[in-house]
Amino acid sequence: MTTQHRPAVRRRLAALAVVAGLAVSACGGDSDDDTATDDAPAQDDSSDDGADDESADDSGDDGADEPADAIEQSGEDREEAIDVTIAESENTDPVMGGTLRYGLEADGNGLNPTASSLSAPGLTMANAVFDTLTAITTDGTAVPYLAESVTPNDDYTQWTLTLRPGITFHDGTPLDAEAVVVNFEAQRAHPLVGLAVKPFYPESGAVEAVDELTVVYTLLEPNAGFPSSLSTQLGFVASPTWLQASLADGTLNQAPVGTGPFMFESRSEDSVTRFVKNPDWWNGEPYLDAVEFLPVTDSDARVELLFGGELDALQTTNQTSILDLTEDDSVQNVLNDASEESFAMINSSVPPFDDIRARQALTLATPVDLYNELIALGVNRPADQMFTPDNPFYNPDVVQEHDDVPGAQALVAEYCAERGGDENTVLGTTTCTDGRINIELQWSGPSVDQTRIADLLNEQWTEAGFNVTFDELLQDEHISQTAFGQYNVNTWRQFGAENPSDDRVWLMCRNIGGISLNWPRFCDEERDAILLEIAATPDPADQVELWQQLTEKINQDYLYIFFNHTLWDNAFTDNVHGVCDHKAPGDDSITLKCSSNGRTWFSAVWME
């Protein structure tokens, strides 16, 4: 493969920054940096944002604007383009052998699906060693995977799951109903992972083995879309023998044992994690000899390693990297922005943002347009809500307020006149000083990109009447403080579930507590009622009006200041094939999704 360096892209971005007078904010941002709730428990599709830095070199001519135009296609058009690219690259029969070297945006804190916070990198590694009970097709339908069938009762409050026979874990332990129960109970018992499980199941009898291969799930309320939840971290099934051993020896959380196409061989955290072929995989023999995962937190460096032949694949949300990768004909790009959204998120449980006027003022003060020009570089589609315009649940009447400094100033003055002496417990100050609202902006770092985002936001927030203090934390501490409500406003990424009803874990009153997954800590019983009605409605066409009501309520509550729809790129060199040939077991006519929020699969991948 010939490596081409194209400095024109960097020159163009630098010129943008000079014109705007914001050189410090010119790159990165919505890139691989926004902390996302994938690092939170058990929800696969609300992805991470590791600690990536920003831009890559590339592009050598003035044609650099062309890929940006291509990226701005609708999600449907983009998916069709991806299919054509993959199809054109696969004119030969698959061959055995080879090691795929995959660049991750960050490492994870472990690979135990019952105890580890699996963000996009963790989920990607987990896909090599574990299988899920269900999987998602290209049209968004959940189909059985490790399961042979998943069947509801009449009111969708109970689901009977039957496992495929004859499957064993890598350590020889049989996959049976009791193994599924052990995994579920381990997840429910975990202090963090359990937060996504406990609120939706009864305290006893939630999951029961009725015979060797049959499990019955009993839910608190009807959920017609329940099978989709078993395609996420909740659906990974680990060896119960290994789970028991990991309780006694925590280091085993780094050495996973599943049923998947590859078996764990070695792991050096923040260096290389290696999985080797499982020749006895229940769903056929994988083509690759091994997959190696290398966390490279600087997206510029990650792309250069791929162009230099040191990586065969990578994941990124960095806009400059995506421009560089999509304009190189030797790289295959699987693009997806029908996933999570990037936004600033507000804690409504403590002053000043327990008052909607303060939340609305911050929303009005936010330079969303400039953010999408300078941080997202015009690559990502701007967002007003959790659905892209091509999604049937999209509400065209929801338009988020922003870039109204005078309007924000008026609300700040009104708030401070009435509540300026209240205590801001996060900062340990009063909520206002000299008629200005005191707030803290928190993010995950160290990160050049996130610092640039903070500087960009702070400039207009300051003009609008906010005194902004910065707090950059390591990702684990950032997530912990968010879960405990120890923040005013932060940058975040979320709402990426394949079935959006699964995103209710971030929204419902029952997910507020000492530790909360309802991160803004905002309770609205009417909103909960809509979410429960959506879950109980089997036909998506009948959910449209309900989702539009929900997005309107979210917009009016001023809890999330949406920036854009996160664009993921899973990029592969031109000698990698089979990326989107992931099929349903026993039925080659059903193609499974080949990427989701940076997560991809490896069972069908082969290399020339």
The C-alpha atoms of residue 503 and residue 505 are separated, in whole angstroms, by 5
What confidence tens digit (pLDDT) does each residue in 114-166 have?
999 888 999 999 999 999 999 999 999 999 999 999 999 999 999 999 999 99
What is the pLDDT at residue 13? 27
Residue 441 one-letter amino acid = L
Domain 8-110+266-337+568-607 sits in which CATH superfamily? Periplasmic binding protein-like II (3.40.190.10)
> Lowest-confidence range among 37-41, 279-283, 555-559, 580-584?
37-41
> Over 90: is that where the pLDDT of 489 sits?
yes
Q: Around Cβ 211, how many Cβ atoms within 10 Å?
A: 9
- Give the residue from 101, 76, 82 showing the smallest Cα distance to 326: 82
The C-alpha atoms of residue 52 and residue 32 are separated, in whole angstroms, by 5
What is the pLDDT at residue 594? 92
The C-alpha atoms of residue 137 and residue 592 are separated, in whole angstroms, by 4
The answer to whether 278 and 263 have CB atoms below 8 angstroms apart is yes
> Over 90: is that where the pLDDT of 20 sits?
no
What confidence tens digit (pLDDT) does each residue in 165-206 have?
999 999 999 999 999 999 999 999 998 889 999 999 999 999
Domain residue ranges in the chain: 8-110+266-337+568-607
Reduced to 3 states, what is the DSSP secondary structure of residue 6?
coil
> Over 60: is that where the pLDDT of 83 sits?
no
> Over 50: is that where the pLDDT of 68 sits?
no
> Over 60: is that where the pLDDT of 11 sits?
no
The C-alpha atoms of residue 166 and residue 33 are separated, in whole angstroms, by 42
Q: Around Cβ 112, how many Cβ atoms within 10 Å?
A: 26
Q: For 376-401, what is the mean pLDDT?
A: 96
**How would residue 448 be classed by pLDDT, with cut points 50, 70 and 90?**
confident
Pairing of strands 436-444, 466-473: parallel
What is the pLDDT at residue 394? 97
Q: Around Cβ 88, how many Cβ atoms within 10 Å?
A: 9
Residue written as token pair 């790009």: 333
Q: For 525-547, what is the mean pLDDT?
A: 98
> Over 80: is that where the pLDDT of 23 sits?
no
What is the pLDDT at residue 449? 86
The C-alpha atoms of residue 572 and residue 579 are separated, in whole angstroms, by 9
> Lowest-confidence range among 68-72, 87-91, 587-591?
68-72
Give the whole-number percent of the chain exceeding pLDDT 70: 85
Crossing angle (nearest 10°) for helices 319-326 and 8-20: 150
> Over 80: is that where the pLDDT of 593 sits?
yes
> Over 70: is that where the pLDDT of 58 sits?
no
What is the pLDDT at residue 304? 98
What's the longest Cα–Cα distance across the chain? 73
